[in-house]
Every structure is written in structure tokens, then in C-alpha cells.
Amino acid sequence: MTEKINDGTPTPHIEAKNGDFAKTVLMPGDPMRAKFIAENHLENAVLVNKVRGAYGYTGLYKGKPVSVMTSGMGQPSMGIYSYELFRFYGVENIIRIGSCGSFDKDLHLRDLVIALGVCSSGNFAKQYGLPGEFAPIADFKLAKLAAEECEKRGVNHKIGNVLCSEYFYDDGNRQLEWTKMGVLGVEMESAALYCNAARLGKKALCICAVSDSFVHPEENLTADEREKSLDSLIGTALEVAAKIS
């Protein structure tokens, strides 16, 4: 767990005390996935947050302190939780472990996408008042470790750009236009995470498992399968966390 930093905790959205979170936090969108990971993959896991059902736990993985906490859905929710963890709880690394819809013909269910860069249909970066467009990117060391772990495990994966969308239901199906630029898939949280990490001098990575496909529409995971059957995603992220903790 982190040392106490005595800086604004608890926050409006997290009831944990200083030092309750590890330096590295895995962030699934689903609170039940956070609970599942804590109960099945961490030793001595302790619940440190349950405000608004945003479950957060800290425990041990291979003897290393690791936390897991839900981010909720969308950039506003991820923006709040990742900012408070980075800014007030001394968290240094956040690894988003989520699901995505694939745009790529070679990606199928449960394959992994390592988001090296993020395109966005949202306005999260507008707050910085930059004289141009900010390009959110992952921490290269984290991305490299994740890719190496995928190779070690024999997990089919691709590394590249993803689209972080502001909406789930696309009126007009314009999201597929991003395939012209080689974008691998779509999710909803990475841009806010990468922006917060950049602004606060922290490290972030988004790894997504393919849960459905725009190219192979017959392929999709149920809600229960998304929660409990993404072993390659969880295992890869935990191994990365253990190496940097």
C-alpha cells in the first residue's frame, strides 16, 4: 500500500483512507468484475471503497500490493475516479481492464487489444485549453510489459489505436469510419484515463478484451461472460502489476 500523503482524503467519491490503495490499480468498468478479481485473484483482499457501488479493494498478488477498483462507464466516470486516485491517493499506475467492440477482422472474442494510442469522439481534453488536438497515449513501459506477457501466454493480441467513444448507441453507425485509419476497436474510458495520467505525471494503460465484433456480428459475450471469463485479460494485467509494484 502507499505511504500516507495527507492530501484531501477521503474525496467526494472515495471513502478510503490515505494509504489504502496500492501504487498500482487495475480498473475494470464493472463493479462486479472488480469484486470477482479481488475475491478470486488477490490474497487478503480488503474492501476500501463502496461509495456509489464503486467497489475498490487492495490485496496481494504474488506478494505484491495491488488494488482493483471499478471506473464505472464512460469518460466522465473514469475521469473522476482516476483523477482522485492519482491526485489524492498517491497511485502511480492505473491499468484499465475493459471490453471493446472490435473493428479488426483478425480479432475475435477474448482476444486482447493494447491501446497504445486513443482517438476520441469526446471533449475531455478541451479542459486544458491547448492550441491544438492532444493525442492521448499509453505509458510505453506498461504497454511493452503487457505485449510481452501476451506473447508469453500465447494470447492473440494487437497493439495500436482505439476509439474512445462518448456514446454506446451510434445513430448512423459512423463509428466504422475509424477503420479507414486502422483503429482496432471501440471502448469508452481510455481517453480520460490517459489525459489524467499525462496531466498529473502518472502512468496509464488500457487493455481490452474483445467482447463483440463489428466485423463478425455473430460474436458477442453475455454480461456474465464479460464479468467472469476474461482470464487472459485479468492474468496479463496482474502480471504487469506485479512487475511494477
- Catalytically active residues are 212
SS (H, E, C) the chain: CCCCCCCCCCCCCCCCCCCCCCCEEEECCCHHHHHHHHHHHCEEEEEEECHHHCCEEEEEECCEEEEEECCCCCHHHHHHHHHHHHHHCCCCEEEEEEEEEECCCCCCCCCEEEEEEEEECCCHHHHHCCCCCCCCECCHHHHHHHHHHHHHHCCCEEEEEEEECCCCCCCCCHHHHHHHHCCCEEECCHHHHHHHHHHHCCEEEEEEEEEEECCCCCCECCHHHHHHCCHHHHHHHHHHHHHHC
Residue the block writes with cell 496509464: 204
